[in-house]
Structure 1
């Protein structure tokens, strides 16, 4: 296939299957790299659209795209989403019978599957199909799990290096939301794709408001926080199993629907909690950190950390589970010194204890910071933010700053003179002119910067250097014994006259948190949004899929704002593809028309069916009515079905045969009389059109 034709097909598939008219940042380049059969590493924040980077190319490959994924729940969620979009996908894992697994491998051999999800532990069961005859692409999701430098290391991921040797000409795409420089290098080395093209997207999730509070009366604070956000889904992360259960019970006693989730529950209990949360039956989950990994629930509006996380990578990934749809969301962290002690105890005796302790300290510094929190997060991942974000508690309640440029220049000069090989402690010792054994042994008394900061106390220097790290003027190289390194911003301070603002050291207890909550303004048209949300929930229950797989909150917000009343207008909404238009379009358009009728004396939804009826009585065919009304044929067929049910003079068997009605009637009994169309569509192995099913159901329901 020619390049231009292939590019056109990819863009067409983007709208048809995923409902998007254009790519997000870097997605297009990544997709083209994969299609050109080049390996790549994708570092993209949660909600940034990582999955499309391999799901979209998969539609253009002849064979299957093998997706390595760490959790069964993650696989099921992804596969459900793909099937809802009309893409053939499945998963292969230990929960399936031998017959099911054999059938899946048969689908791969027959090239009937586009994507197959598998855990590393189950790869051995796919040995017979791990050949380039069948595998067109390999995607490694949550790729940070392969690295012992990563925050969620899984030994099972380290066996994945053999895959490239088995599939040398197959493109590999490794994806993760969180990986510092050391972890990125390790991922490429372990997967044997050292020459892979790297795509590192911005880590800036501007829609998430960041806030840190002291851990005083946490339960009452959380209750107030939740009550100001009624009907919003949220996650509270706790360090211990006991804390999740106690907090869930306390929230329930305050009339808040909350459930606990932790590894001490059996598989069925954990699955039930997770499923109820995904299906919006449970509003809040109090959980240990394993919960939510890879779950693409786009309408989580907030994340609370009851305890401080053990590192910034984990914190960043966990808050990223809020606001995946791009709408305003909130991340609240409670901080106490007791948490720090507990985390240090957890790290004691571990194989990489020194790294873990250093990262705990970095997390503590973030929690105690008096500078823009988003700057700290981004600089940690190597991304420098020039301006303060304006959407964190420090920016909203700024402390008093002074001109700290000379202090910054002294510190950065010392790091430079030490050739970026020493950690914070030694840098301060050199600045203060210390004559301890380590300084003397290394000959640092001869450096030009030795003693240039002896007028500043050791603890105060620590405070200033932490701020410089937080603002991105230098960084900690965890994989090089925590040495301080200079950044691109360093030379602006040293040579270009950039001013640096710092705060005076103060006791943590004196830092007053942001206590005033902004009033949540009721959005315009919230009545329609709530009706659309209820309709989505009804459809989700009927089809037994999570509500966000019907449409995301962001798509519902756009529908509320644009109020599309024709199929073409509805298709223009971001997140509405042709399949979802066909399956759900007429119900949502009818809801909008009904709302507009109740609010603005616009035609009621029944009027649109009557217009179709008038044209039908004039002898026009469905195709002619479709052209005249500028509506798609499936919508006209839905009108025909409704008109027939309403008792209008419709010769229904002009549109559906008696044998088709009989077949749907048989399915109707076997499926326990569901009104949703998708179960029938699946029942007939996608061989009967949706409009035929709808017409047959109108005959059955009319009796």
Structure 2
């Protein structure tokens, strides 16, 4: 076996391990089964790539999406690693199997559907295996947010090769899901390594929807670089993309209902771009290993905190500053609860708990990151200082009395009207609709003073999120199960009022002063030329962080270039002279 630390220096150009990488690699090297729960951007792929190079044989990587496999193969090959994917989309399957049998591959990527078949098991017996790695391992658990039944069929494959170490990797798994992964994949209870869920480079922002088109345009105006906008439906995806493109930014759409060729081209263009915005359904992203996404915006409520964490985690994978901004509406919760009514009760109870936790996240006035980390079982000691509530603490008011008045108004109007009409009744406005329904004669007519009227809409959002109010298909508000405790004085309701908006310059958290360093920009231009000539995304050549360090150190020899983080031997030999030409000729 070869020394992993030596390989880390020579192949990847890294001075040392990060976080729990060393502990994970050490377990795999000694053949121990392991589940590594590591946040996106923490270097999960290195945890199987290094042992694959250090141990004899080929590592078999089970991955859920063809696009993700191809992206990982491309990135591995840039480091000089012999990698291939065996998928239905690859025309060189026979050649890949020959290379595998002849021991000419370090990494072989396969989908769970293929990996679970008997024919693939027979193929594996033809050569030596270094390890099994199951990526996105939360897909094996019915308790996970992205369950894939084919992952459940992997255990027989793993058990057929008991001498081969198995490594499961995921960024998103609560305690229940972790326990299920260990059991389903036959991993030992002491094989769990949790790196923590904190992504300190991501700034979390959450706002009620209030003119979504304008809110998204503000995000794009303030945030440079590539970004993703997640929309709740296919129609919304194309509508929002058209609206945002009118502002002059390059914007594309992506959803499963599009022509496959157009969808594929849009994805390829996004991966290769440095500033494109993709408006997509949540299906987009798992197959993208793009490290330089500078922002993720949600145009609607995610399905769960796990989903939110995974989707926002697609920003800032390179460790550079990034923004995650969620825009939510009370109707999102109404739709989510309607979907739950169609799910069997065994699963619905867990989904209700997830939805309740999500309501707590969007409503909270405390540090967003602390709420997120506690959900995943961590115990953060102090506010993060890098979320909207930390940067501009909202005022919190006791709105229990307003909530009771609003609930009473809903009851007195026979639970058939929306919040706008209820506000008119509480404010004592004699509109045609109020008079026509005789609601000016109700005891709740005019009982809200001016200050309380301003709280009615935020209170309605909070009550809908907590399931104290429910909206029907026509917007009419009726009681949910959480209404009675509030009316009876058993529960109170506090509402966070957003701080006044401050004007921000273009660039936001994802843009730092050295982004406009002329040498850095010259190195980016050279990277762009090489990437276009080789037909690969720019980040496959070098990450922005590597170019920034290159600009700062200003090496003029190959030996000096070797000291830059991320410049391994293969990349130094392939690209070194081209970048040294820029560095040597720089007179800035």
Give the structure-2-normalised TM-score.
0.80
Residue 27 of structure 1 pairs with residue 14 of structure 2: no
Match of 1:574 among 565, 569, 577: 565
**Deviation of residue 41 (structure 1)?**
0.2
Mapped contact 1:233–1:300 kept (Cα < 8 A): yes
Task: Give the direction of change, closer, same or farther, for the CA distance of 1:356–1:208 in structure 2 (3 Å limit).
Answer: same
> What does 1:319-338 correspond to in 2, within 5 Å?
319-338=312-331
Map of 1:548 onto structure 2:
539
Corresponding residue pairs, total: 490
Match of 1:16 among 10, 14, 39: 10
Task: Give the direction of change, closer, same or farther, for the CA distance of 1:398–1:505 in structure 2 (3 Å limit).
Answer: farther
Distance 1:235 1:244 in 2: 11
Residue 297 of structure 1 pairs with residue 290 of structure 2: yes
Distance 1:513 1:136 in 2: 57
**Deviation of residue 229 (structure 1)?**
2.5
Map of 1:265 onto structure 2:
258
Map of 1:165 onto structure 2:
159
Map of 1:355 onto structure 2:
350
Map of 2:504 onto structure 1:
517
Residue 200 of structure 1 pairs with residue 194 of structure 2: yes
Per-residue CA deviations over 1:628-663 (Å, capped at 9, x if unaligned) read xxxxxxxxxxxxxxxxxxxxxxxxxxxxxxxxxxxx
Gaps of 5+ in 1: 403-459, 468-503, 600-703
Map of 2:311 onto structure 1:
318
Mapped contact 1:129–1:135 kept (Cα < 8 A): no
Map of 2:393 onto structure 1:
398
Task: Give the direction of change, closer, same or farther, for the CA distance of 1:528–1:68 in structure 2 (3 Å limit).
Answer: same
Q: What secondary structure, in the 3-state scheme, does the structure 2 residue paired with 1:365 have?
A: helix
Mapped contact 2:140–2:181 kept (Cα < 8 A): yes
**Deviation of residue 517 (structure 1)?**
2.8
Match of 2:368 among 358, 365, 373: 373
Distance 1:158 1:513 in 2: 49
**Deviation of residue 194 (structure 1)?**
3.6
Q: Which has the higher mean CA deviation after the structures are superposed, 119-128 or 31-40? A: 119-128
> What does 1:113-152 correspond to in 2, within 5 Å?
113-123=105-115, 124=117, 125-131=119-125, 133-152=127-146
Q: Which has the higher mean CA deviation after the structures are superposed, 273-282 or 123-132? A: 123-132
Distance 1:181 1:522 in 2: 37
Mapped contact 1:559–1:573 kept (Cα < 8 A): yes
**Deviation of residue 361 (structure 1)?**
1.8
Residue 564 of structure 1 pairs with residue 558 of structure 2: no
Distance 1:120 1:301 in 2: 31
Per-residue CA deviations over 1:335-393 (Å, capped at 9, x if unaligned) read 11011112222333224122112211211210111010000111111111101100001
Task: Give the direction of change, closer, same or farther, for the CA distance of 1:196–1:169 in structure 2 (3 Å limit).
Answer: farther
Per-residue CA deviations over 1:282-301 (Å, capped at 9, x if unaligned) read 70100111111042211101
Distance 1:507 1:523 in 2: 37
Mapped contact 1:41–1:196 kept (Cα < 8 A): no
Residue 47 of structure 1 pairs with residue 41 of structure 2: yes
Mapped contact 2:291–2:318 kept (Cα < 8 A): yes
Match of 1:287 among 260, 263, 280: 280
Map of 1:153 onto structure 2:
147
Map of 1:471 onto structure 2:
none
Residue 584 of structure 1 pairs with residue 584 of structure 2: no
Distance 1:297 1:62 in 2: 30
Distance 2:165 2:23 in 1: 14
Task: Give the direction of change, closer, same or farther, for the CA distance of 1:70–1:522 in structure 2 (3 Å limit).
Answer: closer
Task: Give the direction of change, closer, same or farther, for the CA distance of 1:323–1:282 in structure 2 (3 Å limit).
Answer: closer
Residue 255 of structure 1 pairs with residue 233 of structure 2: no
Residue 112 of structure 1 pairs with residue 107 of structure 2: no
Match of 1:177 among 166, 171, 188: 171
Distance 1:515 1:149 in 2: 41
Distance 2:279 2:396 in 1: 38
Gaps of 5+ in 2: 398-458, 467-491
**Deviation of residue 518 (structure 1)?**
5.6
Q: CA RMSD in A?
A: 2.2
Distance 1:590 1:17 in 2: 23
Task: Give the direction of change, closer, same or farther, for the CA distance of 1:132–1:350 in structure 2 (3 Å limit).
Answer: farther
Task: Give the direction of change, closer, same or farther, for the CA distance of 1:593–1:335 in structure 2 (3 Å limit).
Answer: same
Q: What secondary structure, in the 3-state scheme, does the structure 1 residue paired with 2:252 have?
A: strand
Higher relative contact order (CA 8 A, sep 6+): 2
Map of 2:472 onto structure 1:
none
Per-residue CA deviations over 1:411-467 (Å, capped at 9, x if unaligned) read xxxxxxxxxxxxxxxxxxxxxxxxxxxxxxxxxxxxxxxxxxxxxxxxx9xx9xx99
**Deviation of residue 217 (structure 1)?**
1.1
Mapped contact 1:39–1:195 kept (Cα < 8 A): no
Map of 1:70 onto structure 2:
64
Mapped contact 1:131–1:166 kept (Cα < 8 A): no
**Deviation of residue 62 (structure 1)?**
1.7
**Deviation of residue 522 (structure 1)?**
6.1
Mapped contact 2:370–2:384 kept (Cα < 8 A): yes
Map of 2:78 onto structure 1:
84
Per-residue CA deviations over 1:123-164 (Å, capped at 9, x if unaligned) read 224232233853221000000001110010011111111122
**Deviation of residue 519 (structure 1)?**
6.2
> What does 1:459-474 correspond to in 2, within 5 Å?
none
Residue 235 of structure 1 pairs with residue 228 of structure 2: yes
Distance 1:26 1:294 in 2: 24
Distance 2:50 2:354 in 1: 36
**Deviation of residue 570 (structure 1)?**
1.3
Mapped contact 1:38–1:196 kept (Cα < 8 A): no
Task: Give the direction of change, closer, same or farther, for the CA distance of 1:576–1:73 in structure 2 (3 Å limit).
Answer: same
**Deviation of residue 588 (structure 1)?**
1.1
Residue 103 of structure 1 pairs with residue 98 of structure 2: no
**Deviation of residue 543 (structure 1)?**
0.4
**Deviation of residue 553 (structure 1)?**
1.2
Distance 2:333 2:245 in 1: 28
